[in-house]
């Protein structure tokens, strides 16, 4: 599965005016600068002026490729999240456990702090809220729904609404991230999965692996996260 595609770069991708072909090198410089500013100085300091200065790409060029600051921030955030929390090709029990353990670890670090800040800032910034919903949540859920449907078809997951299944699997992580009443520990992930999987998986799937599974190490940036069999097949965006 590809983790970076031009179509992923912002919610307003299809609304861009026609102009010169974007430079991949300049595009990466802009996204690198935006993510570095987010990591080092926070959301408020990640302005178009600051991004332009750090990336050495002019504001005029940046605005040809992204309609506003929110779209740039979301492009940078989504690109990083696709590397740090990649989607699998199939929804098996081991894959779900590994993915959610990895997510809980990422949510305890800079990526989680950024996500919480983006959601909080979106309450008073409509453009950022829309960019987060469309450029991150909806785009990732579309891929998640595709995977769930495939797993329903092969009998791994029971026949239920894929949107509800995704909520069952992911809502506890986001709840603890945003409310902060308890920490996102591997023990918590295994315990809620032990409960949730009884409702998600088909009756022929064993649940013993949930309790025994050890936390998975998150992939390093730039590391190929696909299984050998998946790499050999057709890549999907």
- For the residues of 181-232, what is the DSSP string, one character each? SS---HHHHHHHHHHHHHHHB-TTS--HHHHHPPPPPPPPTT---S-HHHHH
Average pLDDT over residues 82-107: 84
- pLDDT averaged over every residue in the chain: 80
- What pLDDT shows up at residue 22? 67
Check whether 68 has a pLDDT greater than 50: yes
Average pLDDT over residues 43-56: 95
What's the rounded Cα separation, in Å, for the pair 77 and 62? 16
CA torsion sign for 179, 180, 183, 186 is positive
| pTM more than 0.75 | no
User: What number of other Cβ atoms are within 10 A of residue 211's Cβ?
Assistant: 11
What's the rounded Cα separation, in Å, for the pair 184 and 172? 9
Are the CB atoms for 42 and 117 separated by under 8 Å? Answer: yes
Residue 104's φ and ψ, nearest 5 degrees, are -65, -35
Check whether 117 has a pLDDT greater than 50: yes
Check whether 55 has a pLDDT greater than 60: yes
Polymer length of the chain: 237
- What pLDDT shows up at residue 28? 94
Domains belonging to the chain, first-starting first, are 8-79 (1.10.10.60), 85-217 (1.10.357.10)
- What pLDDT shows up at residue 212? 59
- What pLDDT shows up at residue 216? 56
Are the CB atoms for 107 and 115 separated by under 8 Å? Answer: yes
Check whether 136 has a pLDDT greater than 70: yes
Average pLDDT over residues 174-190: 91
- What pLDDT shows up at residue 230? 40
Residue 53 neighbours by CB under 8 Å, 6+ apart: none
Cα–Cα distances in angstroms (integers) from residue 125 to residues 12, 65, 129, 218, in the given order: 16, 21, 6, 31
Q: pLDDT tens digit string along 194-237? A: 888 877 877 766 656 555 565 556 555 555 544 434 444 444 33
């Amino acid at each position: 599965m590809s983790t970076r595609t031009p179509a992923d770069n912002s919610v307003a991708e299809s609304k861009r005016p026609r102009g010169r072909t974007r430079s991949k090198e300049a595009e990466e410089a802009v996204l690198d600068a935006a993510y570095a500013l987010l990591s080092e100085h926070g959301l408020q300091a990640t302005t178009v002026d600051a991004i332009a200065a750090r990336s050495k790409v002019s504001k005029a060029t940046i605005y040809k490729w992204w309609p506003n600051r929110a779209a740039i921030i979301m492009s940078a955030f989504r690109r990083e999240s696709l590397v740090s929390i990649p989607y699998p090709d199939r929804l098996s029990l081991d894959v779900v456990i590994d993915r959610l353990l990895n997510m809980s670890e990422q949510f305890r670090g800079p990526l989680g702090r950024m996500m919480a800040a983006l959601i909080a800032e979106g309450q008073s910034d409509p453009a950022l809220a829309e960019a987060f919903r469309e450029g991150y949540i909806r785009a990732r859920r579309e891929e998640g729904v595709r995977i769930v449907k495939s797993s329903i078809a092969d009998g791994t997951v029971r026949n239920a609404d894929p949107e509800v299944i995704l909520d069952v699997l992911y809502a506890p992580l986001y709840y603890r991230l945003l409310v902060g009443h308890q920490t996102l520990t591997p023990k918590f992930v295994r315990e809620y999965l032990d409960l949730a999987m009884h409702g998600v998986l088909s009756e022929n799937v064993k649940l013993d692996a949930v309790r025994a599974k050890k936390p998975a190490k998150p992939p390093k940036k730039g590391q190929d996260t696909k299984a050998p069999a998946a790499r050999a097949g057709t890549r999907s965006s």
